[in-house]
Amino acid sequence: MSYDVTVAPKERIITVRIESDLVDAMEGLREKTGASLSWQIRSALGPWLKAQGAAQKADRKRVGARKRP
């Protein structure tokens, strides 16, 4: 018996075009620091979006403490 399980990704995968000089600089940083290109992009976009007033995470409901029997 086998089961097929599909898990939705937490993040959407998108394709963007980035100027070659920026990619070259990011690849240089990857070689120097080991930071992946996607991590470099995410870490730069977060503060930029926040400065633009566009970065808002959804408010999450806090889960109450579990009642013990």
Burial class of 68 by CB neighbour count within 10 A (0 to 12, 13 to 18, 19+): exposed
In a domain, 34, yes or no: yes
In a domain, 12, yes or no: no
Tens of pLDDT along 18-40? 999 999 999 999 999 999 999 99
Q: Which two tokens stand for residue 64?
A: 């109450």
In a domain, 10, yes or no: no
Domain of residue 40 covers 20-51
In a domain, 11, yes or no: no
Task: State pTM to two decimals.
Answer: 0.60
Tens of pLDDT along 39-63? 999 999 989 988 998 866 655 566 6
In a domain, 66, yes or no: no
Total domains present in the chain = 1
In a domain, 6, yes or no: no
In a domain, 67, yes or no: no
